[in-house]
Amino acid sequence: MSLPRIALIGCGNMGRSLAGGLIHAGWSADALQGVDPDPNQRDQLRMQTGINATADGAAAVSRAEVGVLAVKPQGMKDTVRELAETLRRQQPLVITVAAGVRVESIGAWIGTPVPLVRAMPNTPALLGAGATGLYCTAAVSAPQRQLAERILGAVGTVVWVENEALLDVVTALSGSGPAYFFLVMEALIEAGVELGLSQAQAQALTVQTALGAARMAAAGTEEPAALRRRVTSPGGTTEQGLRVLEESGLRAILVRAVQAARQRSEELARKFGDKE
């Protein structure tokens, strides 16, 4: 069975990552078309994936069954309005990966209902290890849901939410989440250096420890809480370290961080989502 043609609108990091993931998932370069006004971005897509790219978005969308909007939030309105006539005529499945821009706004810019999926991937998608939240409108059929899941699943794990407001939580948790973990890693590296390790030693140990812990959690045999208890011997070193973290309010700090990021996501939606 042939795979549907996809127009990738935006050939930046996320567009190129999706392109690479789709090639790996079985799409041929001929079934994919990049779109970007920047010739340098188009050249990078061609060199990295073998996919041809054009500056003519309407032409690309007219030949596609799926249009992926991989542009920055501040450029979404102009991009959608430029493609609106073609989208209305062709009625492709539209997938947007722009943070904070609501489906209501995109639908208003198009001017008529189209099958629309909103996706919130995170930066590890660049390595095929992303986490993506998905939400769709009522116009999206069951096969189209499966197709959207397959497309975003090409760059990592996919989770559906049935309430669009929960994508603000996804943004705050997994979208911003890599930076939270990077900060913890920075702090652990600094602690190791202060206590006598070299920068290289502390970084190598910290990065591998984070990777190992994530792989254990990803195995799914036990929940993180159970894994934590299993490596915490009574009276041992880990128990002492965890006691300091708990007494310092680490859990509450992380909750406040996610709440603040969610609030900012809501603010950005209001900023970039005006329908005029």
CA distance linking residue 10 with residue 12, whole number of Å? 6
12 and 121 both lie in a single domain = yes
- Structural domain including 130 reads 6-164
pTM: 0.89
205 and 123 both lie in a single domain = no
Put residue 46 in one of left, alpha, beta given phi > 0 → left and psi -120 to 50 → alpha. alpha
- For residue 19, give the CATH number of its domain: 3.40.50.720
Going from the C-alpha of 237 to that of each of 26, 128, 166, 242, the distances in angstroms are 48, 35, 38, 9
pLDDT at 2: 74
Question: Which of 133, 164, 195 is the last residue before a domain boundary?
Answer: 164
pLDDT at 140: 96
Q: Kindly report the CA angle at 20 between 165 and 162, in degrees rounded to 5?
A: 20
Question: Which of 139, 164, 189 is the last residue before a domain boundary?
Answer: 164
Helix 73-90, helix 250-272: angle, nearest 10: 60
Helix (H/G/I), strand (E/B), else coil: 116: strand
- For residue 251, give the CATH number of its domain: 1.10.3730.10
23 and 53 both lie in a single domain = yes
146 and 202 both lie in a single domain = no
How many domains are contained in the chain?
2
CA distance linking residue 22 with residue 34, whole number of Å? 12
Could you tell me the pLDDT band of residue 220, with boundaries at 50, 70 and 90? confident
37 and 159 both lie in a single domain = yes
Could you tell me the pLDDT band of residue 63, with boundaries at 50, 70 and 90? very high
